[in-house]
Amino acid sequence: MLCFLVRQNSAHTAIHVIANCKAGRMAAVEERDKLSSLLGSICPDAILHWATDGREVAQFAREAMQNGATLIAAAGGDGTINAVASVLVGTEFVLGVLPFGTLNHFGRDLGIPVKMDEAIENLKVGQELAIDVGEVNGRIFVNNLGLGLYPEIVRRREERQARGEPKWIAAALATIRSLHQYHRLALQITAAGKELSRKTSIVFLGNNEYSIEGLNIGTRTRLDAGIMCLYITSETSALKLIGLSLSALLGILPRNQNYEKILTEDLWIRSRHRTLNVTLDGEVIQLESPLHCRVRPKALRVLIPRKR
């Protein structure tokens, strides 16, 4: 996705675009050429920077802020959005979004147009909204945090992709292997005044509440409610985990007893392991235990489509 920084109450005259050339659609030469062409016609004064990983994305964002940019953009997926948001959070800058990743969860929940030209045009006519971010051990997430099975699937998928397998084939084979071999995590969770001891395969913590049923599964209706939503599965067999997913798609998850849901502003996750593999906005990192998670209400300014 493209992410833009804008100084409040300033004209959009100094635009820096930070593109991750290995992320999402930007991996294709024709998409990179299209981005350059559309930016040239819609935002002719834009300065385009090509990055190869999240560290370069964040560094370009910091440099653009120091150099007086009024609008900073990053092109890639949700991981690229995370890299820019981590620089912008708590500042006066505004984040705009152009959905150039594979799944584009963040842009979708903000209602950003999917078409490249429409998304760029939104940067000229959109309106500002202050939204929440999640934080774990000082690291930011705009979508969600995952523990257990999901980081394992992502790790295995990335290993298979590195060997040349297509992404979706790699994801399917990684899922099958992970379901077959994964063992439960033993966790102690403190949240919303509750002390929980659980052995689980999946812990999912959303920045605001996700829909986990019906056709709107995996979406959020708002990102400024000042809460995080914790989901924990209580079953670990492959068959029951598949059943949990199917029940969500059929819209009957509230009647399924194989998960717990807690709304909270702050929580601790403790484990006997010294470190834990964690996904933040789809990127796998390793964090030391315990994990301290909190919501930072309205800490990030974003640009959304103007209401008509």
pLDDT tens across 25-84, in order?
Answer: 888 899 999 999 998 899 888 888 899 888 999 999 999 888 888 778 878 889 999 999
pLDDT on residue 25: 84
* CA 243 – CA 237 distance, rounded (Å): 10
State pLDDT tens for residues 213-236.
766 778 899 999 999 999 988 765
Residue in 296, 245, 287 with CA at minimum distance from that of residue 147: 287
Q: What is the model's pTM?
A: 0.86
State in Å, rounded, how far the first CA of the chain is from the last one.
Answer: 24
Average confidence (pLDDT) over 251-270 = 82
The 8-class DSSP code of residue 25 comes to G
The 8-class DSSP code of residue 192 comes to T
Fold classification of 2-125 (topology level): Rossmann fold (3.40.50)
Give the number of C-alpha atoms closer than 13 A to the C-alpha of residue 90, restricted to the C-beta side: 8
State pLDDT tens for residues 90-129.
998 888 888 888 788 899 999 998 899 998 888 788 899 9
State pLDDT tens for residues 169-196.
877 887 777 777 777 889 999 999 889 9
Q: Let me know if domain 141-297 sits in CATH 3.40.50.2300.
A: no
Residue ranges per domain, the chain? 2-125, 141-297
Residue 130 has pLDDT above 90, yes or no: yes
Residue in 127, 135, 81 with CA at minimum distance from that of residue 104: 81
